[in-house]
Amino acid sequence: MKTKVAIIGSGPSGLLLGHLLRAAGIECIILERQTRDYVESRIRAGVLETVTTDLMRQLGVDQRMNEEGLIEEGFNLADGERLIRIDITRLTGKHVMVYGQTELTRDLIAAAPDRGLEIVFEAKDVALHDLEGSPSVSYSKDGISHRIECDFIAGCDGFHGPSRKAIPAHLVREYEREYPFGWLGVLADVPPCHPELIYSNGPRGFALASMRSATRSRYYIQVPLTEKVEDWPEERLWDELALRFDPISERGVTRGPALEMSIAPLRSYVFETMQHGRLFLAGDSAHIVPPTGAKGLNLAASDVAYLSDALIAHYRGGDDAGLNGYAARALSRIWKAERFSWYLTKLMHRFPEDGAFEHRMQLAELDYVASSEAMQTVIAENYVGLPL
Ligand code: APR
Ligand code: PHB
């Protein structure tokens, strides 16, 4: 088999890239290790920047997003006692949209056949070859081995995929920060406690009130890394959420059966470089942000916006400036999103190693944010997403 661009991974970065290339008439194929069902039911974050909603619109896969997505003109930070509203729209003229990554993934997969985008699910043993010469990708499916020869490989295979590991170690540098806690999340069909998101740093630690719709809530609390989901019977989690959000939210926490509960660790990670020969990395394969600020999916979208531009320029006129500059261009935006996610994580969580002084520093900073439009603008313009 032959194609122009072999894409590994059908998460948001692989799917968006595949659609963008197909829309420009460029042949490509996506190889995904998991089943379609598995990919479509993974629960992930749900706040979209304009960068991401614009790509969905440009691709014409925005119908359900426009109908079901919630436009958010502001969000809140809380110090446990009061809400500090960040009025995104007044401060930046923009807004974000609450629309689950799960839904976005489903929309992109559903639209693939009509756009001539082939996705091979359950592609096992994916391996990358000859990245600096004539690249190819091998895999097996139903016990049969395949090889795809291509011009370029896009490594969109997330943090655990093979693409990043295919770049020789002596050419790269890794930057990493692991945080000493995780987020315990719950999804439930109950109305959200507040019309907008609340990130709270209260006496009992960090908590986030988010949503998927007017009738579906998503909550998270900070938990020590030693804790397991089994340590948290549903009633215990709802009790904890009520303690944290009843005093500060408009409606108080409504309880309901959990559709999903899981604990995710928090990590900041950047892999430099994002290019080796004819391999280009995009999304979680090259970088991870802690979820505070919801930048993960949106960074995947900006990476593939840059990468698709560069590949299209290559095929249209043989102009390789975009491909040669891809890593530098993407990393410049990535580092700024890393900074914001790290900043918000530090501001809003209780770190076990921190004492009373550090906590007062957090409270002083929140108090400053509450009184300073300049600080609110800084937070709003980062939250809404830096320009491409
Ligand atoms: N072969 C083929 N596919 C693979 C392999 C492999 N060996 N390893 C991983 N994959 C697939 C995964 O199954 C997954 O579907 O690559 C995909 C990577 O998707 P994501 O992890 O969603 O990464 P990305 O598309 O870059 O999206 C980043 O999604 O993971 C969230 O929080 C993250 O919001 C961020 C965004
Ligand atoms: C979510 O709704 O899942 C969510 C929202 C905001 C975040 C992280 C996750 O910062």
**Taking the domains of the chain in order of start, what are their residue ranges?**
5-47+99-176+268-344
> What is the third-level CATH fold of 5-47+99-176+268-344?
FAD/NAD(P)-binding domain (3.50.50)
For residue 46, report the distance from its CA to the centre of ligand 2, in Å.
Answer: 6
Whose tokens are 């490594």? That residue is 155
Place of tokens 């990554």: 101
Reference 297, options 67, 105, 118; nearest CA is 105
Q: Which among 186, 200, 159, 184 has a CA at the least distance from the CA of 264?
A: 184
Partners of 185 in the β-ladder: 220, 262
DSSP summary character for residue 169: G
Q: What is the DSSP letter of 231?
A: G
Q: How far is the CA of 107 from the centre of ligand 2 (A)?
A: 20
Q: Which residues form the pocket of ligand 1, taking CB atoms under 6 Å from any ligand atom?
A: 8-14, 31-34, 39, 44-45, 101, 123, 126, 156-158, 160-162, 283-284, 296-297, 300
Task: Give the 3-state secondary structure of residue 260.
Answer: strand
Contact partners, residue 146, CB within 8 Å, separation at least 6: 1, 138, 139, 140
Give the model's pLDDT for residue 101: 96
Q: Is the CB of 45 under 6 A from ligand 2?
A: yes
Distances (CA, A) of 347 to 23, 193, 229, 242, 377: 42, 23, 25, 22, 16
Pick from 335, 338, 284: nearest CA to 44: 284
CA of 17 to the centre of ligand 1 (A): 13
Residue 290 alpha carbon to ligand 2 centre in Å: 10
The pLDDT score that the predictor gives to residue 80 is: 80
Return the residue matching tokens 């976005």. Answer: 104
What pLDDT was estimated at residue 385? 97
**Among the bound ligands, the one closest to the CA of 99:** 2
From 210, 263, 345, give the residue whose CB has the most ligand 2 atoms within 8 Å, as the site to mutate.
210
Distances (CA, A) of 11 to 32, 188, 207, 254: 9, 24, 27, 32
d(CA 149, CA 129): 9
Q: Whole-prediction pTM value?
A: 0.97
**Residue in the block written with tokens 């839904």:** 103
- In the 8-state DSSP scheme, what is residue 255? P
CA 47 to ligand 1 center in whole angstroms: 18
Q: In 3-state terms, what secondary structure has residue 209?
A: strand
Closest ligand by atom to 43 CA = 2
> 329 in ligand 2 pocket by Cβ < 6 Å?
no
Q: Which of 370, 353, 22 shows the shortest CA–CA distance to 181? A: 353
Residue 308 CA to ligand 2 center (angstroms) comes to 27
Spans of the chain, pLDDT less than 70: none
Rounded Cα–Cα distance for residues 374 and 381 (Å): 11
3-state secondary structure 53-111: HHHHHHCCCCHHHHHHCEEECCEEEECCCCEEEECHHHHHCCCEEECCHHHHHHHHHHH
Q: Which residues contact 169 (CB under 8 A, 6 or more apart)?
A: none
CA of 345, nearest ligand number: 2
What tokens does 220 get? 């998270």
Q: Which ligand is nearest to the CA of 109?
A: 1
User: Which residues lie across from 118 on neighbouring strands?
Assistant: 29
CA–centroid distance, 129 to ligand 2, in Å, is: 37
Q: Which ligand 1 atom sits closest to the C-alpha of 283?
A: 26
Question: φ, ψ for residue 152 (rounded to 5)?
Answer: -140, 155
Which residue's CA is minimally distant from atom 8 of ligand 1?
A: 161
- Asked if 11 contacts 300 with a C-beta cutoff of 8 angstroms, the reply is yes
371, two tokens: 């009184």
CA of residue 135 to ligand 2 center, whole Å: 38
* Cα–Cα distance measured from residue 57 to residue 312, given in angstroms and rounded to the nearest whole number: 19
293 lines ligand 2 (CB under 6 A): yes
